[in-house]
Structure 1
Amino acid sequence: MAVLLPALELIGSILLTPFLMLLLSIIFLASIGKSLGVRRLYVNLLLMIFEYGRRDIESAERHKRKTDEDDDEDEGYSEEVVPKDKPPSETELQPKNVNVKPNGYANGHVPNGGNNLISRDDRLILVPEPAQVSNDETENEKYSDDEYKTGKEQIVNFELSTILDYIKSGVESIIEDQVTSRFEAEELKNWNLLIRTNQSYEFISWKLSFMWLCGFLVRYFFLFPLRVIICFFGVCWLTICTALVGYIPNRETKQLVNRGVSIMCFGILSRAISSVVTYHNEENKPKNGICVANHTSPIDVLILMCDNCYSLIGQRHGGFLGLLQRALARASPHIWFERSEVRDRHAVAERLREHVSNPNNPPILIFPEGTCINNTSVMQFKKGSFEVGSVIYPVAIKYDPRFGDAFWNSSKYSMLQYLYMMMTSWAIVCDVWYLPPMHQKENESAIDFANRVKSVIAKQGGLVDLVWDGQLKRQKAKKEWRERQQEEFSKRLKVE
């Protein structure tokens, strides 16, 4: 035992010294905003490994299919004889095992959130926004029997079979609707060597098992401890720096120092998830006013704050998020509301208007969806931030789920569970597009302005533009939506 202890101390010092040097170098480079390109090299290496794993899985599946066909032949089953003069079907003409890259994204990325099981008639899908009319006369004129202008076919003779299309649409929505699938993790076309899958790919072959085991050891016994230490240091450093900035009396100097401190501290925190972010069109980076972006997780704030300084608006939280909120509030003018105040839209709009009226304040970052979506779609934008009359700076954020799913399902995971999943993923890779500033047009309502901004963000990020309210994640559809569908159906009828 006397000989064993010194040997263990020597081995520990040999292993600990490079670990500490790596940790210090990461923190130092992050604090000065520099990178040696190691993370991008690491991401490219992962892509090569994923591609090798994909080929190995496909090879194993082909071998399994061939074995099953041989077994069927041994049991007396024969394949259907196809006449030589029969033309090949459209499916047979399609190439096999082709890596489709929709919307320019790499293999493994599914922009629409997965393969749709069914194809619907969009004319029968309920649209949440009610028809806006000025008075009863306009309503009667719009929905008259002779001039019904909804673009839908009018039914002349009602029969019992008329309702079958609506029944079919309802059953399709039960099987697969446009909303609930946006609150689940985005599907992948290929396995990324993580165990968060319902397929046991790691047991297909000994090669994949070895690769998965090596990846498990790297993620849980090297990357995870390293990231936890960086996160702990980053939070402590952020708390200390913002407290010191709070004592600076001069407002202009305080804002200048706060900007540098904010970018530095969030740059360190971004290393805790091995983030690799590519910023596009930086000439459109917001300098004041309101910045709006699609919302996937609390990491969105971290990603954007690494490149610019923002004020934040939101509900007060406790725990880890509350600690960060109190730290940030010492150095910069943020807007935090109690739960009871959030329901007072006039109070929120007034405080928001006060903030953007001061050109010296940083741009305020808002996520108008109000909840996290799985980064396949953009859902309804709340109109509150578009009623202020300020310039709007749209920002599109698109994560690459092959390296780690950034979506936070708050109804399933706590904040600590979510951080644990982020720190045990391979990395967080994303693109950020700064879009040109947008102004509300004359005679344009806040709802139309919000939809126009949402459409621009969805188009740039390759996301599906949906009209549904993200709060359907937590509550049932409104009664007036169902009543409107019934009303529209009744207006299509003309019984003779």
Structure 2
Amino acid sequence: MISEIINICWIPFTGFISFLILLSAINKSIGVRKAYVNLLLRIFEYGRVSIETASKENQKFESKSKTDKKLGLEIVEDDDNKEALNGATLITRDAILLPQAQENTQEKQVSSKKEEINFDFEKCLDYVKSGIEAIIEDDVTSRFEAEELKSWNMLTRTNRHYEFISWKITLIWVVGFVVRYTILMPLRVLVCFIGVVWLTLCTAAVGYLKDGEQKRAVVHKVLGQCFGVLSSAISAVITYHNEDNRPSSGICVANHTSPIDVLVLMCDSTYSLIGQRHGGFLGILQRALARASPHIWFERGEAKDRHTVAERLKQHVSDPNNPPILIFPEGTCINNTSVMQFKKGSFEVGGVIYPVAIKYDPRFGDAFWNSAKYSMMQYLYMMMTSWAIVCDVWYLPPMYRQDGESAIDFANRVKGVIAKQGGLVDLVWDGQLKRMKPKKEWKEIQQVEFANRLKSD
């Protein structure tokens, strides 16, 4: 009896899954994902109102019970102000203490002549203040933690126990938990498995085609279908803006939040990729992609050789038949709040640069990959148990290096355009600071600045 019921239910279930995969493969939508996202927004809004109402009631109760008998003052905890400050920048730093990467430190070296300097201890106070500010709130390490949310999305782990504020919120949270882990996650794992197998088979078949215009057209169609299926595994809802500026050749640079950035962009166009060879799940995808289209994969030792990287990059860009090459100049994932220093290598090649800004909506799921904390499989598990991955992609007008402009200045100009369009904070710091100590040049800039202050006084 039970087996008959399972068989009856299995047929429409498999038919439904096949239908969704087919729609994703042909890049069509019947509006299910958008309707799902709109439903989530209504639930989040209901939760926000319920939490604020409960917070105000608790505040009134606490304001009556908390009274300082000695001073005769009433102590009221303003939870609303606490929430407003959560995730906000608490400190305004002295801009002169920030590193300026584009400046040549050799031109600013302190004169070797001995000069008499009257030193007062108070001249060190600005640097002492900056050190304390960095301890309280660090501009760098705070960019490698999960982005703070203004309101609870019934997903993020929190010690405030919002799910127990009222029985209605508790019921919604329990239903959401069941839906995510017993319905969405198994479906997404199945779709992801099908997508990876389909990508591997399709790229293997396309690899036997003769190079030429026909093969490039087939690759464009095949990769669009394969990545469309993979996007269904995370319930991706992607909105592309300014599609007239979509890259057609040259170099495409984008801010980097997650490995999903590649999937997001490949759903709309075909790109060549550059990066270090990986094993495991990423290695499977790299080998599959290499069979269908030209990509640049380096071994760990080769990736550190800037000359080798630049030479292979120039060779790829010089061939007009190659797809645009996608580069993430930050070299590491940032938490969707800012853009950090761009490496100058891709801006020394010459030619056109196509900037792309990517911004994820954190209300539905945290797309940031903290590689120092989570493995790739753990990250995929988090993605598949999130509500959805919702993001906006802006294709920006092509940019060219101006006469007399250094590669660093050009990189900073492109970075500023991407940050402005994506509503991200433009930072001068190197994202690799999360893995290594500050470079010697950064320390020298601070030393030179400190010496100049002493001399000027």
* Fold conserved between structures, TM > 0.5: yes
Alignment counterpart, residue 370 of structure 2, candidates 405, 409, 412:
409
Alignment counterpart, residue 181 of structure 1, candidates 138, 142, 146:
142
8 A contact 2:256–2:334 mirrored in 1: yes
Question: In the TM superposition, what are the counterparts of 1:413-452 in structure 2 within 5 Å?
Answer: 413-452=374-413
8 A contact 1:400–1:430 mirrored in 2: yes
Q: SS where residue 260 of structure 1 aligns?
A: helix
Deviations 1:385-414 (A, max 9, x none): 111112100000000000000000000000
Alpha-carbon shift at residue 265 of structure 1 (Å) = 0.3
Unpaired runs of at least 5, structure 2: none
Instruction: Give the equivalent residue in structure 1 for 2:99.
Output: 127
Compute the TM-score of the two structures, normalised by the length of structure 2. Answer: 0.93
CA distance in 2, matches of 1:360, 1:480: 40
CA gap 1:394/1:167 in 2 versus in 1, 3 angstroms: same
User: Match of 1:319, as an amino acid?
Assistant: G
8 A contact 2:255–2:358 mirrored in 1: yes
Alpha-carbon shift at residue 130 of structure 1 (Å) = 6.8
CA gap 1:340/1:250 in 2 versus in 1, 3 angstroms: closer
Question: In the TM superposition, what are the counterparts of 1:295-306 in structure 2 within 5 Å?
Answer: 295-306=256-267
CA distance in 1, matches of 2:3, 2:396: 55
Instruction: Give the equivalent residue in structure 2 for 1:117.
Output: 90
User: Match of 2:289, as an amino acid?
Assistant: L
Alpha-carbon shift at residue 133 of structure 1 (Å) = 6.6
Alpha-carbon shift at residue 195 of structure 1 (Å) = 4.5
CA gap 1:247/1:77 in 2 versus in 1, 3 angstroms: same
8 A contact 1:404–1:425 mirrored in 2: yes
CA gap 1:488/1:23 in 2 versus in 1, 3 angstroms: same
CA gap 1:261/1:480 in 2 versus in 1, 3 angstroms: same
* Higher mean C-alpha displacement, 351-360 vs 188-197: 188-197
Question: In the TM superposition, what are the counterparts of 1:62-211 in structure 2 within 5 Å?
Answer: 62-72=56-66, 79=73, 114-123=87-96, 125-127=97-99, 129=101, 131-132=103-104, 158-211=119-172
8 A contact 1:314–1:335 mirrored in 2: yes
Instruction: Give the equivalent residue in structure 1 for 2:24.
Output: 30
Instruction: Give the equivalent residue in structure 2 for 1:152.
Output: none
CA distance in 2, matches of 1:25, 1:298: 27
Deviations 1:187-216 (A, max 9, x none): 001000015223211111111110000000
Alignment counterpart, residue 217 of structure 2, candidates 225, 238, 256:
256
Unpaired runs of at least 5, structure 1: 1-5, 82-91, 101-109, 146-155
What is the number of equivalent residue pairs in this alignment? Answer: 452
* Higher mean C-alpha displacement, 41-50 vs 246-255: 246-255
User: Match of 1:29, as an amino acid?
Assistant: L
Q: SS where residue 45 of structure 1 aligns?
A: helix
Alignment counterpart, residue 357 of structure 1, candidates 318, 333, 341:
318
Deviations 1:411-456 (A, max 9, x none): 0000000000000000000000000001111111111111111010
Compute the TM-score of the two structures, normalised by the length of structure 1. Answer: 0.86
Alignment RMSD: 2.6
CA distance in 2, matches of 1:340, 1:356: 23
User: Match of 2:64, as an amino acid?
Assistant: D
**Identical amino acids, percent of aligned pairs:** 66
Q: SS where residue 358 of structure 2 aligns?
A: strand
Alignment counterpart, residue 445 of structure 2, candidates 465, 468, 484:
484
Q: SS where residue 418 of structure 1 aligns?
A: helix
Alpha-carbon shift at residue 163 of structure 1 (Å) = 1.3
Question: In the TM superposition, what are the counterparts of 1:371-386 in structure 2 within 5 Å?
Answer: 371-386=332-347
CA distance in 2, matches of 1:495, 1:134: 19
Alpha-carbon shift at residue 222 of structure 1 (Å) = 0.5
Q: SS where residue 373 of structure 1 aligns?
A: coil
CA distance in 2, matches of 1:432, 1:495: 47
Deviations 1:82-110 (A, max 9, x none): xxxxxxxxxx9xxx79x99xxxxxxxxx9
User: Match of 1:193, as an amino acid?
Assistant: M
Instruction: Give the equivalent residue in structure 2 for 1:39.
Output: 33
Instruction: Give the equivalent residue in structure 1 for 2:13.
Output: 19
